[in-house]
Amino acid sequence: MHTSPWLVRDPKNAKRRLRLYCFCYAGGSASVYAPWQARLDPAIEVCAVQLPGRGTRMAERPFTSLPELIRALAPVIGRQDGLPFAFFGHSLGGLIAFELARYQKLHYMRMPEHLFVSGCDAPQFRAPSRRLHALPDPELIDVLKDFNGTPPDVLAHRELMDLLLPTIRADFALVDDYVYRPGLPLTMPITVLAGRRENRTAEQVEGWRRETLSDCHVHWFDGDHFFILPEQQAVLDCIGAGLVERECA
């Protein structure tokens, strides 16, 4: 199998029948998905995508253009073995997973058999850009506090935040500058995961149905934007059920 700094996986997983590529939220790293392998069916190989600017790739410059990121990432996925695969992405990660699947379709590449989008507006109904990447440091840190996805002790650690903020800004730029372009709908099932305390309209959740010719199911979870942290097992049960349906189809 082709190895790459983009991909973090457990090399001991010998029972895999399907690979789940996981894409992280703004400022996050592949380590977020480290506990998932032990909590999913061993037949599912968790393969977390590590973007530049974090983790073992901290010294690399992060992407600030989503199209450039997709063009760099698509060949990495394309060089992997022939194992069937699915995509999961939370927030920014959901947008990356969606646009990567569209790119693969456009370029006649192997495509995911299931797309899981979590905490992410339907692309045709995204809220207006808040230009978060342009905020001064104190205001950006206040926004991160409101999102409730970063530990308070990390946000209060000035030297650590000085190290992390450039990557967080770059990630927010990917979202802030995103422009939806109409195209052919996808053909795989889409599962939408949303938090009951997220500030989303019905269109921003249900609008994902417009992006596929296949089934689209919406699942609600207790919590705010980062419901995937306290509701991790429920999220994994949802993913596992969706992938089992694929196995039985």
Active site residue 91: yes
pLDDT at 149 over 80: no
Q: Residues 165-186: pLDDT tens digits?
A: 999 999 999 999 999 999 999 9
Centroid of chain to Cα 36: 14
CA-to-CA distance for 186 and 89, rounded, in angstroms? 16
Q: Supply the pTM of this predicted model.
A: 0.93
Contact (Cβ atoms closer than 8 angstroms) between residue 170 and residue 64: yes
Confidence band of 156 (pLDDT split at 50, 70, 90):
confident
Tokens describing residue 40? 């999913």
Q: What is the dihedral of CA 65, 52, 123, 108, to 10 degrees?
A: 90
pLDDT for the residue numbered 221: 97
pLDDT at 13 over 90: no
Q: Could you say which of 29, 31, 65, 91 is catalytic?
A: 91
Domains and CATH numbers, the chain: 7-126+180-248 (3.40.50.1820)
| Mean pLDDT value across the chain | 92
Q: Residues 212-229: pLDDT tens digits?
A: 999 999 999 999 999 999
Tokens describing residue 58? 């901290």
Give 199: exposed, middle or buried? Use CB within 10 Å, 0-12, 13-18, 19+: exposed
Q: What is the dihedral of CA 120, 127, 134, 166, to 10 degrees?
A: 0
Tokens describing residue 12? 């001991």
